Chain A
Amino acid sequence: MTIPFSNPDRPNSYIGKTVPRPNAAKLVQGRGRYVDDIVLPRMLHVAFSRSPVAHAKIGEIDLDEAKAVKGVLRVFTGKDLTEVCTPWVAVLAHLKGLKSPPEHALAVDRACWVGEPVVAVVATTRAAAEEAASVVMVDYEDLPVVTETMTALDKDTPVIHPELGDNLAFRRLHEEGDVDAAFESAHKVVSASFRTARHTGVTLEPRSILVDWNPAEGQMTAYHATQAPHMMQTVLAKHLDIPESRVRVICGDVGGSYGIKVHVYPDEVATAAIAKVMGRPVKFIADRLESYTTDIHARDHEIEARIAVDADGKILAMDVDDWTGIGPYSVYPRTSAIEGNQVVNLCGGPYDFANYRAQTTVVFQNKTPTCQYRAVGHPIAVAITEGLVDMAAAAIGMDPVEIRRRNMYADDAYPVTSPAKMKFEGLSHHASMDKLIEMMDYDSLRADQAEARKQGKYRGIGIASFIELTNPSPFMYGIGGARISAQDGCTVRMDPDGSVVALSGVTEQGQGTEAMLSQVVAEGVGVKPSNVRVITGDTQVTPYGGGTWASRGAGIGGEAALQAARALRDSILEVAAAMLQAEASKLDIRDGQVVDADTGEERMPLEELGRIVYFRGDTLPKDLPRELVQTRHFITMEYPFAFTNGVQASYLEVDTDTGVVTLLKHWCVEDCGRVINPQLVDEQIRGGIVQGLGGALYEEIHYDEDGQLLNGSMADYLVPMAAEMPDMQVAHVETPTKESELGAKGAGEAGTAGAPAAVMNAINDALRPLGAQVTEMPFTPERILRALGKIDD
């Protein structure tokens, strides 16, 4: 029996409806339980003495003064920890040529970025540990520093890791069709340089871990703010020489992740290693400065790109040369080559064209390591693609909406393979664009823009179509050798009172995973969502799974939950049929009642069935299965990724005297397949848009030429805030994936993917009459005035 999703009046119709988040009241009442809320007996705190310089040989380390601080129990150097913790090398087999040196939990011999942990101080309080860390004396002998991406491979640039031969971490060239010929014969060629600023995720809750090693049990328990508990289980087991089965990772409430908490951080592994050495629970909570210097950074790309179009605006070719600097190490275990790789995979994504060349060059430098952050590579690829498409439209005098309509894959063209060799199962670019244009009332907006211009106001409209990669298969990491699960499982059980417990391998980061799971299970079994309790984030309790990343929670975890719930429903009905002497196929479960499927007549509440099964099982037939616990796993098989699509628009005003951009309104239409919870999806889209707007207008990590981080505080690193955010209107087109019964694809990154390009195009639309153009993010007031030629140095 399949679920008739098209009928909103079907019984138990929770999928597709906004249901309350089961954890919302807890979180807003301050009753959440984050890692820092957990206090264990005999618990200690660790603080780190971090490298104050970007590249240096580590000489003498004087710990006398630190050890003398009251409350300090022990101090560890890199060498101390090498005895209990092996280093890691973040490469993957399918990213050919990717290289990276071994990285230790604490720097050994050499520090390679400002903020790299060098010495760990363990004390009875965080204050004492910090006090002691501040008096650790390390003799740093300066080594040459590499900060520039574009010159990292030059002959006269020092090589950060001499054993690797050069500063090249990874390079991939993809070529399809005859790009050079297409450019030579094209009606119009437009070129541009783009830059996306290095930024970071800025989670409300900083990185947090509390590790408890129990030598009597030979078991390590890590309470960890993480997106991927099972991945961390493997990592801790492998590098601390503990059987995987003896590492338990528990992930309670998490205050935002955005990709920041899916990576392996040396200070967190050091915390686990220290807990094992000391046999006491050790807690590490990053403070905000540590977050800025050690949370992964992302998006630090410089790009030269061009597009060729014919006289009708048809795209003939795209050519992209992308460079990114990733810091001194590829980040374990997902690697830092993925972002550049994604740029190659995603440029030109919405468009049906033949000739495509893209190369990414990933280099080492002495800055904080970069890695995957919400919408990995997407904002960059969308900015390049949509920036070029708008410039091409302007060059041939075509409306930006029209040029897109002439190039987007037809909605009936699927399945199709893009020139980047991405396989699309089913997208809806045209339907989404139509919906967007209607929703924003494009023609009226153009009229408003023209009217405003008469009054000397420079308003602009920016459009950005995009594709988003979701529901990854093992093609993302598994085939490269990483023990990162692409499948996910869910166990659903009915307890004696008729309530349901669901245990899932995907995790709750504050985005509402548990609400999504509760309604899927509620519909699948036939109970109210409030009667489903969801448990996530415990490797010893939940089925094995990948966790939350790459927009997979609903599409993968949701389908596993649905199948497990349907299986439990069947088990319940089998018992009910025996009890009621009816045919199981003639029964249904609705709102916690076994009912007659045809008439809806109530036959028995689930709690009565529970009473019999659990307490009077003697009254049931001997050979009747009464398995009120069911587990199912799900993995995608037909497509490496479930691509989604969408289109965003921005309307804004540029103050051409100050350079300040005021966002007037933002629209997004996206297609994530089946929408399970409209409110949660809209919140994901809005939150994602806000992060994209941050990248477009505010967020930029600054380093000086010595590799010193210049803006490691909330006062100096500007995140988007409510007062500047525009009203956002969100709508959906639904093209469910056929890979699952649920049909859900991911929605978590779509907002971030498209927003920066929409803003860039809107600013350039506003500035075009003045002959100015900006392509370097963030679009600060100063960059805009410089583009307008209004600043005299």
Chain B
Amino acid sequence: MKASAGGYARAESVGHALDLLAGSDGQGRVLAGGQSLIAAMNMRLSVGDLLVDISKISELSGVIVSGGTLRIGALTRHAQVGASQVVRTHAPLLTDAVSHIAHAAIRNRGTMGGALAHADPAAEFPACALALGATMHSEGPEGARAIPAEDFFEEVFTTALKEDEILTSMTLPVAEEGEVQILEEVARRSGDYALVGLCLVKRASGHRVSLFSVGPKPILATVAMAALDAGDLEAAVDAVSSEIDPPSDTQASAAYRRHLAGVLLRRAVARLKGDTA
């Protein structure tokens, strides 16, 4: 199929992009890596978009650490996140996640901010953001906002971003001494969206567990987290299965996904013990 775009403009700066969005009468769409948007347009699932291309705004790209906070620019490509030694040191969960995201060609173009703002419930980065307690940073006509990951993901393909706002970066606390970050997922083929995925982060303050591909948005499994903190794996496995409301589709039923969530939690915990032993 042939895409039917309503228009295209390349933004020179974040301010310029915001102006373009403001002038688009609600038809504006931010184009970054284009790995989801262009595919949707090519299937005519999205028609008439006024594309605001932010891909040349260099200030939106890059990884910096300062004062115990890791900041990753929204335009940083998946491949750059995956190759970054800084990310590997301070947020190894993201490094792991990249190896599960699609295929090399997609990782070379797709951006972390795009994945977060697109909010596909089966994507890895949103769940990582939840597990790591990250904060999303946006710019808009009203100024900058900082939105905790737990408030950011709202529904399928829906976030707390307003139509006239742009996601600019994600910040997260750098991994503390002894912190362990684990990602487990099962997909039909390597690079496919996960049937179910799970992130487990263990910090001095306790466990954090997030899941993806288990409902309309990634979730933080707080009951399971409390059970793990209490040292009760069986309770955590039971909890994780009941905390999610997974869909049934052509790849797997909800019942299979519930089962899998428990399996992945057990595997993550086993790895945790292996790592700390």
Binding site for B on A (CB under 8 A): 125-127, 130-131, 134, 287, 289, 657-660, 698, 700, 702, 710-711, 713, 715-716, 718, 720-721, 723-724, 780-782, 785, 790-793
Q: Judging by beta carbons under 8 Å apart, are B260 and A723 in contact? A: no
Which residues on A sit within 8 Å (CB–CB) of B44?
Answer: 130, 134
Contacts A711-B250, A792-B255: A660 and B2 contacting too (C-beta < 8 A)? no
> Shortest CB–CB separation between residue A694 and chain B, in angstroms?
11
Q: Determine whether the beta carbon of B252 is less than 8 Å from that of A782.
A: yes
A539 to B253, CA, bound (A): 51
**Interface contact A718-B192, CB-CB below 8 Å:** yes
Question: Could you name 5 residue pairs across A and B whose Cβ atoms are closer than 8 Å?
Answer: A698-B188, A718-B192, A721-B189, A723-B191, A782-B253
CB distance from B263 to the nearest CB of A (A): 5
Which residues of chain B are within 8 angstroms of A134 by Cβ–Cβ distance?
44
Number of contacts between A and B (CB, 8 Å)?
63
B201 to chain A, nearest CB (A): 22
Contact of B190 with A721 in the complex, beta carbons under 8 Å: yes
Q: A698-B189, A720-B189 are in contact. List 12 more A-B contacts (CB 8 A).
A: A127-B2, A130-B1, A130-B44, A134-B44, A658-B186, A658-B263, A718-B192, A724-B189, A781-B256, A782-B256, A790-B259, A792-B255
Within 8 A of A (CB), among B231-277: 250-253, 255-256, 259-260, 263
Partner of A781, one of B2, B186, B190, B250: B186
Contacts of A720 in B (CB 8 A): 189
| Contact (A131, B256) CB under 8 Å given A718-B189, A718-B192 | no
Interface contact B250-A657, CB-CB below 8 Å: no
Question: Does any Cβ of A come within 8 Å of B195's Cβ?
Answer: yes
Q: Which of A660, A700, A718 meets B186, CB within 8 Å?
A: A660
The distance from the CB of A134 to the nearest CB of chain B, in whole angstroms, is: 7
Across-interface contacts of A793 in B (CB, < 8 A): 253, 255
Q: Which residues of A contact B186 (CB under 8 A)?
A: 658, 660, 781
Whether the pair A131, B255 counts as a contact (CB closer than 8 A) is: no
B146 part of interface (Cβ distance < 8 Å): no
Q: How far is the CA of A126 from the CA of B251 in the complex (A)?
A: 33
A718 x B263 contact (CB < 8 A): no
Of chain B, the residue at the smallest CB distance from A702 is B250
State the B residues within 8 Å of A (CB): 1-2, 4, 43-44, 186, 188-193, 195, 250-253, 255-256, 259-260, 263
Q: Which of B43, B251, B260 contacts A658 (CB 8 A)?
A: B260
**Cβ A289 vs Cβ B188 within 8 A:** no
Picked from A710, A718, A791, A792, the residue with its CB within 8 Å of the CB of B188 is: A718
**A-side contacts of B1, CB under 8 Å:** 130, 287, 289
Instruction: Identify the closest chain B residue to A721 (Cβ).
Output: B189
A130 to B192, CA, bound (A): 29
Closest to B266 in A: A657
Instruction: For A713, list chain B residues within 8 Å (CB).
Output: 43
Given A289-B43, A711-B250, A723-B190: A785 and B2 within 8 A (CB)? no
Given contacts A718-B189, A781-B188, contact A657 B263 (CB under 8 A): yes
Alpha-carbon separation in the docked complex, A720 to B255 (Å): 25
Q: How far is the CA of A791 from the CA of B262 in the complex (A)?
A: 12
Residues on B with beta carbons closer than 8 Å to the beta carbon of A716 = 250-251
Residue ID in chain A nearest B47 by CB atoms: A134
Dominant secondary structure of chain B at its interface with chain A? loop
Q: A54 to B43, alpha carbons, bound, how many Å?
A: 21
Contacts of B260 in A (CB 8 A): 658
**Interface secondary structure of A, over-half rule:** loop
Residue of A at shortest CB range from B241? Answer: A792
Task: For the complex, give the distance between the alpha carbons of A785 and B253 in Å.
Answer: 12
**A residues in contact with B43, CB < 8 Å:** 289, 713
Query: 9 nearest interchain CB pairs?
Result: A127-B2, A723-B190, A782-B256, A702-B250, A657-B263, A793-B255, A711-B250, A791-B255, A287-B1
Residue of B nearest to A127 (CB): B2
Q: Chain A residues with Cβ under 8 A from B191's Cβ?
A: 721, 723
Would A131 and B4 count as touching, CB distance under 8 A? yes
A414 to chain B, nearest CB (A): 42
Bound CA span A774–B260, Å: 20
**Residues of A contacting B255 with CB < 8 Å?**
791-793
Question: Are A791 and B259 neighbours in the complex by a CB distance under 8 Å?
Answer: yes
Chain B residues with CB under 8 A of A660: 186
| Chain B residues closer than 8 Å to A781, beta-carbon distance | 186, 188, 195, 252, 256
**Chain B residue, CB-CB nearest to A700:** B250
**Min distance, Cβ A566 to any Cβ of chain B, angstroms:** 49
Q: Could you tell me the distance in whole angstroms from the C-beta of A354 to the nearest C-beta in chain B?
A: 43
A309 vs B145: C-alpha distance in the bound complex, in angstroms?
75
Docked Cα-Cα span, A134 to B253, in Å, equals 33
CB distance from B259 to the nearest CB of A (A): 5
Report the nearest B residue to A712, measured CB to CB. B43
Q: Which residue of B lies closest to A704 (CB)?
A: B250
- B259 (CB) vs chain A CBs: closest residue: A791
Chain B's nearest CB lies how many Å from the CB of A697?
8
User: What is the distance, in angstroms, from B19's C-beta to the closest C-beta of chain A?
Assistant: 29
Complexed CA–CA distance, A723 and B53 (Å): 33
CB distance from B145 to the nearest CB of A (A): 33
Closest to B256 in A: A782
Q: Which A residues lie within 8 Å of B189 (CB)? A: 698, 718, 720-721, 723-724
- List B contacts of A710 (CB < 8 A): 250
Residues of A within 8 A of B253 (CB): 782, 791, 793
Closest CB-CB distance, A401 to chain B, in whole Å? Answer: 31
Report the minimal beta-carbon distance from B258 to chain A, rounded to whole angstroms: 8
Q: How far is the CB of A26 from chain B (nearest CB, A)?
A: 24
Minimum distance in angstroms from A165 CB to a CB of chain B: 35
| Bound form: Cα–Cα A94–B12 in Å | 71
Using CB atoms, name the residue of chain A closest to B3: A127
Give the docked Cα–Cα distance between A781 and B2 (Å): 35
Cα–Cα, bound, A721→B250 (Å): 19
Closest to B264 in A: A658
Chain A, residue nearest B188 (CB): A718
B188-A127 in contact (CB<8A): no
Task: State the CA gap A304–B195 with chains docked (Å).
Answer: 32
Quote the shortest CB–CB distance from A7 to chain B (angstroms): 47
A130 and B2 contact, CB distance less than 8 A? yes
A657 to B265, alpha carbons, bound, how many Å? 12
Report Cα–Cα, A331/B252, bound state, in Å. 32
Q: Closest approach, in angstroms, between the C-beta of A323 and any C-beta of chain B?
A: 22
Complex: A724 Cα to B255 Cα, angstroms? 25
Chain B residue numbers with a CB within 8 Å of A657 are 263
The CA of A658 and the CA of B259, in the complex, are separated in Å by 8
Q: Which residues of A contact B192 (CB under 8 A)?
A: 715, 718
In the bound complex, how far is the Cα of B2 from the Cα of A557, in angstroms?
40
Q: A785–B259 contact, CB under 8 A?
A: yes
- Would you give the shortest CB distance from A124 to chain B, in whole angstroms? 13
Report the Cα distance A791→B195, complex, angstroms: 15
- A780 contacts which chain B residues (CB < 8 A)? 188, 251-252
B250 pairs with A785, CB closer than 8 A: no
Q: What separation, in Å, do the CA atoms of A792 and B254 have in the docked complex?
A: 10
Partner among A127, A659, A721, A785 whose Cβ is within 8 Å of the Cβ of B4: A127
Expressed in whole angstroms, the minimum distance between the Cβ of A540 and any Cβ of chain B is: 33
In the assembled complex, the Cα of A125 lies from the Cα of B3 at a distance in Å of 13
Q: Is the CB of A724 within 8 A of B190?
A: yes
Residues on A with beta carbons closer than 8 Å to the beta carbon of B193? 715
Contacts of A790 in B (CB 8 A): 259
> Which residues on the A side are within 8 Å of B195 (C-beta)?
781
Complex Cα–Cα for A540 and B38 (A): 43
**CB-CB nearest in chain A for B44:** A134
Looking at the assembled complex, report how far the CB atom of A445 sits from the nearest CB atom of chain B, in whole angstroms: 25
Contact B256 A785 (CB under 8 A): yes
Shortest C-beta distance, A300 to chain B (Å), equals 15
- With both beta carbons as reference points, the residue of chain B lying nearest to A125 in the complex is identified as B2
Q: How far does the alpha carbon of A89 sit from the alpha carbon of B256 in the complex, in Å?
A: 45
